[in-house]
Amino acid sequence: MKQAPLPYRSIYSRRDRLFNLVRPLLERCHIGWLSHPALNGLDRQLERLLPRRGGWYVEAGAYDGFQQSNTYYLAKMKGWQGVLIEPLPPLAALCKKRRGESKIVCCALGAPEDSGRTLQLRHAGLMTMVRGALADDATEHARASSGLEGQGLPPLEQFVEATVRTLTEVLIETDTPPDFDLLSLDVEGFEVDALRGLDLSRFIPRAICVEVRHENMSAVMTMLETHYEKPAILTKNASYADCFFAARTHCTPAAA
């Protein structure tokens, strides 16, 4: 049976429509008033923490390349370039259209032993998650339904298949520098497996901004503590924290 089109919404009001028209004009004039789409002001915090121009990012969970993007401002206003990773093909196509400075990779991220396998994604718009990433199916269903409702999308239970690759495989394919500037990771509860796919002997991003669910915090800290300082908590709520890890000064990848 043919997969039904996934619901998608980019314009929520007349104001959004106007902003979408005006934004490119302002950006050509190097004015970034409308170019901070990240949730909870994360891109403004990243701009402060990573002030350099012309850096290299890798953003996983890129969605459409604009909505809630942590790297959009860096790309459009600070001359950064890099890689966007998005598992849903229609959204990866939008990334390719909107983010010409970026290399687009359409896949899900996972652990080395899962590379090449197919997994199911539970569609929830900006909150799309790997099936099985949360504690149980009922919790996932409730979170997905809440996310769809909050985004004004129809509450349809839809699953999409995606092929798993490791972060290391993607970084090699895209010629990412071994000590690139920023890894932004928002994979809705699948951050442990995604980070397990990063070979820190080959790639040590200078900074990692990752959304970590509270039940995964200990595992993430253990994986990164050798190479990274204690994280700064940029935002926090009842379910997760956005953490900023800065690489320890003595840690450099073998390939650098």
What's the pLDDT band for 255 if we cut at 50, 70, 90? low
Number of structural domains, the chain? 1
Q: Whole-number mean pLDDT of the chain? A: 91
Examine residue 163 and state whether it is found in any structural domain, yes or no: yes
Q: How far apart are CA 234 and CA 115, in angstroms?
A: 31
What DSSP letter does each residue of 16-82 carry, written as one string?
A: HHHHHHHHHHHHHTT--TT---SGGGHHHHHHHH---SS-EEEEES-TTSSTT-SSHHHHHHH--EE
SS3 98: helix
The predicted model gives 173-198 an average pLDDT of 96
Within 13 Å of residue 75, how many CA atoms lie on the same side as its CB? 23
Q: pLDDT of 71-117, one tens digit each? A: 999 999 999 999 999 999 999 999 999 999 999 999 999 999 999 99
Examine residue 29 and state whether it is found in any structural domain, yes or no: no
Residue 138 confidence (pLDDT) = 79
Query: Is 90 exceeded by the pLDDT of residue 231?
Result: yes
Structure tokens at 118: 């197919």
Examine residue 153 and state whether it is found in any structural domain, yes or no: yes
Phi, psi of 91 (to 5 degrees): -75, -35
Q: pLDDT of 25-61, one tens digit each? A: 999 999 999 999 999 999 999 999 999 999 999 999 9
Residue 3 confidence (pLDDT) = 60
Query: Is 80 exceeded by the pLDDT of residue 156?
Result: no
Helices and strands per DSSP (H, E), number in the chain: 8, 11
Residue 2 confidence (pLDDT) = 52
Examine residue 24 and state whether it is found in any structural domain, yes or no: no
The predicted model gives 168-195 an average pLDDT of 97
Query: Is 50 exceeded by the pLDDT of residue 1?
Result: no
SS3 201: coil
Residue 127 confidence (pLDDT) = 72
Examine residue 48 and state whether it is found in any structural domain, yes or no: yes
Whole-structure pTM over 0.75, yes or no? yes
Examine residue 180 and state whether it is found in any structural domain, yes or no: yes
Q: How far apart are CA 56 and CA 53, in angstroms?
A: 9
Q: pLDDT of 130-153, one tens digit each? A: 777 776 777 777 776 777 777 777
Q: How far apart are CA 160 and CA 218, in angstroms?
A: 30
Query: Is 90 exceeded by the pLDDT of residue 224?
Result: yes
Examine residue 184 and state whether it is found in any structural domain, yes or no: yes
For 109, the enclosing helix (H) or strand (E) is: strand 108-109
CATH number at residue 226: 3.40.50.150
Examine residue 75 and state whether it is found in any structural domain, yes or no: yes
Residue 119 sits in which domain range? 36-246
SS3 151: coil
